């Protein structure tokens, strides 16, 4: 876990940049793993010492072989194990006693049942941690340090590129192999197949890569995060240093969602929580390997956008339509050209052609792409200048197109990009030449649009002041000590009275209400509050009131109230909540779950059927500012419902944003003590926003406690 080494950086240096390396299990036998590992390390350009260890041989491939680590003439920095799983524990113990700080374990470390609860990988991890040793693996492909010419892998892919600035960390060995052997000049400095991470994990590797001056992008393919605190600290440090991190998360299906008692909690599963954490720290999350590689290439660009969107020039009317269609599907920001730029384009284009973005530059057979690119590059609304052409290998036009984007790039400070619609047609030679000039060549329309969108968004978030939530509000700070003491001892969901009080103490506006145990008390409360009112069961153990028939709304007189009370008392018990009906408005849900890896993660969405059926929600890590709350609201598909669509009343968005921000501070402050918090619904109306109902489940209240009985 994070900080588990006394000197983690030195241990990682010994592993990834060793001055010397020992191969335990080195072999002269053709086809053996020990033979392949020796060949991989010695046949490239590694300048360090390589020691071969195998007690059965005096020499291997003409070099001395040693019977053990103890027999070596000097202590190596790193040992790579080319031995069977049953011998690895003894070998790692020997390395630990020798003070070796780095190790690579390739095997699965599988053992038949021994009757012990401690598995072989767990024992190996304990040995490594005790010795302060960094370990790559187990069950991995190894790693490459391209600057050092070092391949610690028994099955290394060919590496043709010089060292660059991309650091790769992958849980998938096959994908690691494909990426390292790529033919698109991604140019890695390090590429690590992390495997089972028995002692050293993604967080450790990220921190190490941040210390390498050549690192420009850190690219991660992750199945899980084994050290959540360390991972969050590492990506936060990457954000602080301004080094982009790109993550492709594997295993995002519904099966990964955790069980939740609250409605909103069920909408914020582990994948949503992970995504919220990534967004909080400006990490780019992608969904496919092709999107991953295009995004990595785009983020390597040393140029920074000055804002704006994508300005594209193409040589095909049909492909212009394709770009527009996919941009709409993906939410890619195509820039709207300013009137002066549109007028200048009209002068450049052939008669009858439209000066809009994307620009179709092919009219009467003249080559106008360079002229058009130069014009849109001057538009303040354009952040990235892109040439969309297939760059078909063997066509003379390839030289014309690539020279055009090259000259345009030389004449502007904005990022200049070329992307092809059919990645298999792109000329490798011309793509390589452009990439050498720091002009990204992206491979496919959808992934190119996604990559440029990620690039623009990452840079925009770097200067986004709305992301700062500011200081904890005074009401939240004041209520926290007393509520912390209470929640730590609470072994059941809070009663409706206590849940409402928690919201009020945190400064979250709630609909006026009162609690009653008789029909007379309920009628008196309704008269004080003013009709119309809602009547809800306040039974402390009833989590979902509507399903139990415990809610009646729109009560307008005493007779209806008494009838409603009698029905609810019969179904759910005598204790009820009388609540003044909120103004007509749009339902919004707010929820929080305490994710087992990342802690409190909140969810916001349009309520009612829009939440349960359409799942129109957005997760976020609390706290957030009112400005950020408003931005997240605008990202919802149902946002128009808050602004008067379909005849609905226009909501007071400022009041709603303030309520969401105050709720987020409650989540940040009290969330570590809660399992779930559900505020559903919040009614957003022209006169403000109020919370109508809440479910608060303390962390100490287990599912077993709550599921025993729904009714008292």
Strands 142-145 and 134-137: unpaired
pLDDT of residue 262: 42
Q: Distances in Å between the alpha carbon of 361 and those of 51, 207, 308, 414?
A: 62, 46, 22, 20
- 213 within 8 A of 188, measured Cβ to Cβ: no
- 259 within 8 A of 267, measured Cβ to Cβ: no
CATH architecture for residues 8-243: 3-Layer(aba) Sandwich (3.40)
The predicted model gives 569-574 an average pLDDT of 94
Q: How confident is the model at residue 562 (pLDDT cuts 50, 70, 90)?
A: very high
Q: What percent of the chain has pLDDT over 70?
A: 94
Topology, domain 512-581: Dna Ligase; domain 1 (3.30.1490)
Residue 702 has pLDDT above 70, yes or no: no
The predicted model gives 669-676 an average pLDDT of 95
Q: How confident is the model at residue 253 (pLDDT cuts 50, 70, 90)?
A: low
Residue 287 has pLDDT above 60, yes or no: yes
Instruction: Count other C-beta atoms under 10 Å from residue 497's C-beta.
Output: 15
Distance in angstroms (rounded) separating the CA atoms of residues 183 and 29: 32
pLDDT of residue 611: 64
Nearest Cα neighbor of 22 from 57, 93, 74, 85 is 74
Distance in angstroms (rounded) separating the CA atoms of residues 96 and 75: 11
pLDDT of residue 1: 40
Report residue 574 as tokens. 């005598």
The predicted model gives 121-147 an average pLDDT of 96
The predicted model gives 303-331 an average pLDDT of 95
DSSP helix/strand/coil, 295: helix
The more confidently predicted of residues 456 and 6 is: 456
Topology, domain 302-463: Rossmann fold (3.40.50)
Q: How confident is the model at residue 266 (pLDDT cuts 50, 70, 90)?
A: very low
Q: Over the stretch 110-126, which tens digit does the pLDDT of each residue have?
A: 888 776 788 999 999 99
Residue 598 has pLDDT above 50, yes or no: yes
The answer to whether 8-243 and 302-463 have equal CATH topology is: yes
pLDDT of residue 705: 52
The domain segmentation of the chain, as residue ranges, is 8-243, 302-463, 512-581, 586-707
Residues 6+ apart with CB under 8 A from 396: none
Please report which residue ranges of 244-350 form alpha helices under DSSP H.
Answer: 263-266, 270-280, 289-299, 317-330, 339-348
pLDDT of residue 491: 87
Nearest Cα neighbor of 142 from 44, 57, 225 is 44
Q: Where does residue 460 rank: exposed (0-12), middle (13-18), buried (19+ CB within 10 A)?
A: middle
- 311 within 8 A of 376, measured Cβ to Cβ: yes
Q: Among 191-195, 231-235, 395-399, name the one with the lowest average pLDDT.
A: 395-399
Topology, domain 586-707: D-amino Acid Aminotransferase; Chain A, domain 1 (3.30.470)
Q: How confident is the model at residue 268 (pLDDT cuts 50, 70, 90)?
A: very low
pLDDT of residue 614: 67
| DSSP code per residue over 657-685 | HHHHHHHHHHHHHHGGGEEEEEEEEEEEE
Q: How confident is the model at residue 712 (pLDDT cuts 50, 70, 90)?
A: very low
Average pLDDT, the chain: 92
Q: What is the pTM (predicted TM-score) of this model?
A: 0.91
Distance in angstroms (rounded) separating the CA atoms of residues 442 and 433: 13
Q: How many CA atoms lie within 13 A of 215 on its CB side?
A: 23
- 245 within 8 A of 235, measured Cβ to Cβ: yes
pLDDT of residue 613: 67
The predicted model gives 664-668 an average pLDDT of 98
pLDDT of residue 615: 75
Q: How confident is the model at residue 527 (pLDDT cuts 50, 70, 90)?
A: very high
Q: Among 124-133, 242-251, 464-473, 474-483, name the one with the lowest average pLDDT.
A: 464-473
The predicted model gives 567-594 an average pLDDT of 94
DSSP helix/strand/coil, 32: coil
Residues 6+ apart with CB under 8 A from 10: 101
Residue 265 has pLDDT above 50, yes or no: no
Residue 259 has pLDDT above 70, yes or no: no
Residue 709 has pLDDT above 80, yes or no: no
The predicted model gives 119-144 an average pLDDT of 96
Note the residue count of the chain.
712
Give the N- to C-terminal CA distance of the chain in Å, as an integer: 44
């Amino acid at each position: 876990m994070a900080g588990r080494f006394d000197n983690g950086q030195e241990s990682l240096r010994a592993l990834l940049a060793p001055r010397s390396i020992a191969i335990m299990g080195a072999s002269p036998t053709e086809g053996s793993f020990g033979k392949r590992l020796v060949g991989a390390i010695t046949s490239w350009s590694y300048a360090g010492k390589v020691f071969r260890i195998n007690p059965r041989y005096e020499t291997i491939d003409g070099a001395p072989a040693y019977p053990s680590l103890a027999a070596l003439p000097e202590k190596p920095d790193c040992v790579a194990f080319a031995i069977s799983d049953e011998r690895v524990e003894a070998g790692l113990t020997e390395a630990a006693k020798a003070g070796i700080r780095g190790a690579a374990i390739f095997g699965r470390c599988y053992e038949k049942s021994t009757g012990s609860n401690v598995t072989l990988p767990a024992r190996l991890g304990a040995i490594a941690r005790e010795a302060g040793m960094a370990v790559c693996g187990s069950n991995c492909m190894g790693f490459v340090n391209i600057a050092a010419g070092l391949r610690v892998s028994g099955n290394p892919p060919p590496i043709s590129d010089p060292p660059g600035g991309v650091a790769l960390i992958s849980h998938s060995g096959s994908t690691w192999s494909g990426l390292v052997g790529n033919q698109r000049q991604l140019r890695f400095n390090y590429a690590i197949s992390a495997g089972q991470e028995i002692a050293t994990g993604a967080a450790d590797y990220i921190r190490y890569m941040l210390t390498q001056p050549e690192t420009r992008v850190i690219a991660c393919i992750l199945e899980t995060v084994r050290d959540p605190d360390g991972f969050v600290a590492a990506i936060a440090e990457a954000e602080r240093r301004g080094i982009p991190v790109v993550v492709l998360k594997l295993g995002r299906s519904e099966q990964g969602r955790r069980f939740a008692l609250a409605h909103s909690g069920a909408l914020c599963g582990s994948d949503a929580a992970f995504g919220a954490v990534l967004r909080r720290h400006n990490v780019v999350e992608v969904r496919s390997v092709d999107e991953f590689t295009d995004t990595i290439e785009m983020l390597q660009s040393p140029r920074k956008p000055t804002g704006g969107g994508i300005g594209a020039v193409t040589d095909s009317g049909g492909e212009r339509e394709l770009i527009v269609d996919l941009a709409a599907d993906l939410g890619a920001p195509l820039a709207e050209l300013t009137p002066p730029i549109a007028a200048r384009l009209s002068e450049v284009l052939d008669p009858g052609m439209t000066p809009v973005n994307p620009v179709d530059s092919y009219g009467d057979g003249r080559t106008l792409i360079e002229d058009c690119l130069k014009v849109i590059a001057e538009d303040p609304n354009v952040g990235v200048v892109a040439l969309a052409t297939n760059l078909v290998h063997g066509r003379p036009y390839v030289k014309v197109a690539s020279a055009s984007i090259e000259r345009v790039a030389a004449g502007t400070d904005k990022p200049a990009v070329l992307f092809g619609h059919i990645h298999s047609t792109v000329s490798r030679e011309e793509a390589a030449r452009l990439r050498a000039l720091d002009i990204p060549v992206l491979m496919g329309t959808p992934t190119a649009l996604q990559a440029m969108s990620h690039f623009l968004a990452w840079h925009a978030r770097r200067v986004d002041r709305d992301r700062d939530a500011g200081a904890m509000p005074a009401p939240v700070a004041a209520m926290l000590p007393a509520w912390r003491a209470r929640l730590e001892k609470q072994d059941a969901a809070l009663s409706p009275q206590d849940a409402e009080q928690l919201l009020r103490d945190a400064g979250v506006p709630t609909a006026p209400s009162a609690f009653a145990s008789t029909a007379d008390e309920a009628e008196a409360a309704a008269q004080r509050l003013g009709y119309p009112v809602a009547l809800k069961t306040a039974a402390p153990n009833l989590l979902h009131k509507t399903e139990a028939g415990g809610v009646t709304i729109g009560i307008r007189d005493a007779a209806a109230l008494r009838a409603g009370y009698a029905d609810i008392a019969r179904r759910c018990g005598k204790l009820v909540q009388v609540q003044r009906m909120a103004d007509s408005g749009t339902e919004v849900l707010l929820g929080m779950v305490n994710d087992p890896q990342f802690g409190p993660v909140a969810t916001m969405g349009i309520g009612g059927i829009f939440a349960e059926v359409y799942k129109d929600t957005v997760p976020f890590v609390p706290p957030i500012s009112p400005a950020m709350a408003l931005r997240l609201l605008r990202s919802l598909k149902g946002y128009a419902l808050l602004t008067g669509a379909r005849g609905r009343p226009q909501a007071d968005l400022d009041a709603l944003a303030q309520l969401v921000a105050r709720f987020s501070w409650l989540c940040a402050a009290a969330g570590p003590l809660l399992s779930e918090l559900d505020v559903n619904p919040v009614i957003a109306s022209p006169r403000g926003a109020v919370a109508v109902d809440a479910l608060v489940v303390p962390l100490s209240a287990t599912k077993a406690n709550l599921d025993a009985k729904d009714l008292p």
